[in-house]
Structure 1
Amino acid sequence: MASLLLCRRKVASLGVSRVVYDNGHPFPLNVERGLGSLVGACNLLRTYGSRSSTAKIDFTDLTCPHTWYPIARRKNRKVILHVGPTNSGKTYQALKRLELSASGIYCGPLRLLAWEVAKRLNKAKVPCDLITGQEREEVVGAKHKSVTVEMADVTSNYSCAVVDEIQMVGCRSRGFSFTRALLGISADELHLCGDPAAVRLIQEILEVTGDNIEVQYYERLSPLVPVQKPLGSFHNIEQGDCIVTFSRRGIYKLKRGIENAGKHLCSVVYGSLPPETRTRQVWFPRCF
């Protein structure tokens, strides 16, 4: 015990801030002095107190997130907001720009959307990688990527980038991923597709980036006409109808009921399906 106390006194006199014990043998860990080299490479350096030479890094300062993406900040990005209701052509116009660009990235909220865009670009003879949290399909020579928004690459430069459903920047659970893509993607043109309600929020977020912002509004291409009477029984559904329910058990119950009626075949899609199975289910009705 005496030797241990003596050891603690010695390391304290050397300015050592902590002693780490491994297998009963103490060895000093000089946090304060060793921190200098780390601080030299860190732009978040803050010195606390005029009498102390101890430097500390403030990892809790989240007030300037746009500074976390220096590659994007070096670009004078042109940001185009395509806003309008469903079936207004806003995403179509953005994807046409992506298809014509020398390099680009599409960021979508769903794996199926990322898969659909990758398939579309590859079919148009534009090699495109598919990257999601569950799968990665790389195409030789590809300079385009189609990804789920969480997989957005903020370390590369692109001619064009598309972020779909940008209004999800306000989502409590996934909004951080859309904010990261909005601030961090380094592209000459950044196309944002979504609801008009998000325009003011996007403009406020981008006030500090110096980007040029243009807003394009779209109108619905075909009218949305509600039926005058309820569907009634599921026996009255027609080919091409989509039924939405809120549990996996409910999905399969509806599928069995529809197919047992003998009029239609029914595919199922939900989040936890494996990627290959989900893709086959999407194409399943088109094979008949």
Structure 2
Amino acid sequence: MTDLPHIANHDSAPGEDDDLVRQLGLADKGVSLAKSEGRVYLRISGVVEYQGLRVAYDLVPTQGVLAKPSKWRKMDADSRSALLRERAADAAIAELQADVAAFVRELADACDDCDMDPDPFMQGLSDMQVAEPAGMVFDRIRTRLEHAVEREMEEQHAERTRQSINLAEYPASFDVARRMKRKFIAVLGPTNSGKTHMAMEALGKAPSGVYLAPLRLLALENYERLQEMQQHGKPLKVSLVTGEERRLVPGATHVASTVEMLDTQTAVDVAVIDEIQMLSDRDRGAAWTAAVCGAPAKVVYLVGAPEARRAIEVLAARLECELEVHVLKRKGPLTVEPTAVRKLSNLRRGDAVICFSRREVLMWRDMVTEMGLSVATVYGNLSPEVRRAQAQRFREGAADVVVGTDAIAMGLNMPIARVVMTTTVKYNGYEEEEIPAALARQIAGRAGRFGVHEEGLVAGYDNETHSVMRELLREKPVPIKTTGFAVAPTLEHLHRISSVTNEHALAKLLKRFVHNIDVPDGFFYPRITEEQFERAAWLDTLDLSVAEKFALSLVPISSKVPALQHAWETWAKSLAHKKITHMKPGDTPLHYMNLQEVEDACRLYSAYAWLAYREPEYFPDTELAQRLSRDASERVDAILQDQNSAARKRQPRRFRR
């Protein structure tokens, strides 16, 4: 240990004071005078011995501070002598010697207990030249020892964590997939290239299989799509599994699931992993890493954007899986219009008007409807059921225009003739920034539904947005990264770290997972979301098991909405007290709530259902929560239609054809 700095240099007292100390015979007893930090004080030096240790000290006794320098200078020699005799009496010297001896024993024993060298800490008794009584110096040294022990324990725990989890061996943790001879088939292409259709046809013909979706909406749509398929003249038996809902069919051969809900233990013939480029997603990419490594299927279809090709190739090589690649082209051309739209009156039936926030969507919805066009509304805060209902209105012609966020870019098949961008700037969770070219292509690609339109059209509403979109669509796709594939902690990981460190705080376990596990080549890399870590710190204040805290940290509910955050905290506290939490409708009936309130109620009920599947003993009302969620979704859809109708009544129907 070399971290015991010389804290302060004390100024020597004037020569006459040194003479006075010698004249009084105090120098022979180890007494000296010092002046620093605006004080004149005594220091007493000596030596104590303990179990072979010989420890020198130079400390200020309890009553060692004599006066301020200004007052000391005004005192005559007799007054100074009297004060020195009083404060440096034999009893005071003996008291300090006894205190130091007791502290040396304490420190030596503590160092022995934690197998540390006591010498560096003992040196502080003579080197720490501060104008503080000995007791405060003892406390400083104790604190240093505590910090040194903590650092030592930290190093030991970090090393034990590294030894307990090696991410290079991550694929081997999926036992069923590891034992199978798997083949990867990558089906890559832009939007409207038929890639999902190709993979789903193969899945429907397989004796058994699973479809893994990025969204509940996509899982639901492809669940119904599989139900319409037949084998040997009979409809497929299909189950739906999402975080918030289970529709389990006895004897089901196929499952439509969200990617996080992958069953890694049940072997199937074919798996389809959709939107494979999500491997690079900052918050959710770990779910795709797990799906690629752990999907227990003989054939795994990897469906997505062409920029994922190189990442797929390196993953296939790492996992020793045969790889077949199909690159599809868009079935119809995508064309940027010559000029920007510029006026609301230039909007037309079949347009999709794109914004990047709920507030903007509702504002544009009102402006468009007041021009006489009917509108379907789609944004991320809406439940999958409402998004589907709104999309269906557009498909059936009940709505002339769809106004939405980039939520339309994934999972909604609509006959969009033209995509109109109101902006190319989006909040990324930290700041406003221009959307990446990949997202611009995905949104624009929704225009020109094959079989409905001969081509897809893209335009910006204003000149600047139009120009930026043109440039973004010209950009060459940037391949996603081919290393550092995200791996999220599992409960097994956390239990393993806890067993070797004896730590039970979720925040500490998550931090160890991110910073201490072994990542020898960086091919797989640990990731947690910032929100999960923040939640973990709060959950650690409650009497919950690691498993309970881990589940609560993952509940899909927004911490930015006060009512939802309050509900989540209430659930956590109830679980800590082992109280059963029932799902009850809100005090205010749905038909008295505004749109935002009903949306939040829907999200609350869905979050309860998600938690109920994981802690059914304490959250037993799964079916009720799902029913209330459906009721709230229907009310949201009704409100949107009512608002659309009310706005249209204010203006003539100039655009109806």
TM-score bucket of the superposed structures, by smaller chain: 0.7 to 0.9
**1:182 partnered with 2:287:** no
Cα separation, 2, equivalents of 1:93 and 1:56: 44
Instruction: Give the aligned residue type for 2:381.
Output: S
Counterpart of 2:190 in structure 1 is: 85
Cα separation, 2, equivalents of 1:248 and 1:164: 26
**1:103 partnered with 2:208:** yes
Cα separation, 1, equivalents of 2:329 and 2:186: 14
Cα separation, 2, equivalents of 1:77 and 1:185: 9
Cα separation, 2, equivalents of 1:159 and 1:284: 37
Q: Which has the higher contact order (CA 8 A, sep 6+)?
A: 1
Q: 1:237 to 1:148 in 2, by over 3 A?
A: farther
Counterpart of 1:149 in structure 2 is: 259
CA contact (8 A) 1:103 1:143 kept: yes
**1:118 partnered with 2:223:** yes
Query: Alignment partner for residue 76 of structure 1, among 170, 174, 181?
Result: 181
Counterpart of 1:191 in structure 2 is: 301
Instruction: Give the aligned residue type for 2:341.
Output: L
CA contact (8 A) 1:81 1:214 kept: yes
Q: Does the residue aligned with 1:225 lie in a helix, a strand or coil?
A: strand
CA contact (8 A) 1:118 1:128 kept: yes
Query: Alignment partner for residue 346 of structure 2, among 216, 231, 236?
Result: 236
Aligned positions of 1:205-216 closer than 5 A? 205-216=315-326
Unaligned runs of 5+ in 2: 1-112, 114-155, 230-234, 399-657
CA contact (8 A) 1:89 1:218 kept: yes
Cα separation, 2, equivalents of 1:215 and 1:188: 16
CA RMSD after TM alignment: 2.2
Cα separation, 1, equivalents of 2:369 and 2:249: 38
Instruction: Give the aligned residue type for 1:276.
Output: E
Q: 1:66 to 1:56 in 2, by over 3 A?
A: closer
CA contact (8 A) 1:78 1:189 kept: yes
Cα separation, 2, equivalents of 1:252 and 1:176: 33
**1:259 partnered with 2:369:** yes
Instruction: Give the aligned residue type for 1:59.
Output: S
**1:162 partnered with 2:272:** yes
CA contact (8 A) 1:134 1:275 kept: no
Counterpart of 1:21 in structure 2 is: none
Instruction: Give the aligned residue type for 2:199.
Output: A
The structure richer in helix per residue is 2
Give the C-alpha shift of residue 68 in structure 1.
Answer: 0.9
Q: Does the residue aligned with 1:80 lie in a helix, a strand or coil?
A: strand
Cα separation, 1, equivalents of 2:260 and 2:350: 31
Give the C-alpha shift of residue 257 in structure 1.
Answer: 1.6
Give the C-alpha shift of residue 233 in structure 1.
Answer: 2.1
Cα separation, 2, equivalents of 1:218 and 1:182: 21
**1:282 partnered with 2:282:** no
Give the C-alpha shift of residue 140 in structure 1.
Answer: 4.7
Q: 1:250 to 1:106 in 2, by over 3 A?
A: same
TM-score, reference length from structure 2? 0.34
Moved more, 183-192 or 147-156: 147-156
Give the C-alpha shift of residue 172 in structure 1.
Answer: 1.6
Structure 1 or 2, whichever has the larger Rg, is: 2
Query: Alignment partner for residue 171 of structure 2, among 45, 62, 66?
Result: 66
Q: 1:127 to 1:283 in 2, by over 3 A?
A: farther
Q: Does the residue aligned with 1:113 lie in a helix, a strand or coil?
A: helix
Q: 1:235 to 1:103 in 2, by over 3 A?
A: farther
Q: 1:202 to 1:239 in 2, by over 3 A?
A: same
Cα separation, 1, equivalents of 2:338 and 2:216: 35
Deviations 1:4-36 (A, max 9, x none): xxxxxxxx9xxxxxxxxxxxxxxxxxxxxxxxx
Deviations 1:185-223 (A, max 9, x none): 110110001122222212212223221111112122111
Cα separation, 2, equivalents of 1:254 and 1:195: 30
Instruction: Give the aligned residue type for 2:391.
Output: V
CA contact (8 A) 1:66 1:208 kept: no
Give the C-alpha shift of residue 231 in structure 1.
Answer: 1.4
Aligned positions of 1:15-94 closer than 5 A? 58-94=163-199
Give the C-alpha shift of residue 58 in structure 1.
Answer: 3.3
**1:129 partnered with 2:234:** no
Cα separation, 2, equivalents of 1:73 and 1:211: 10
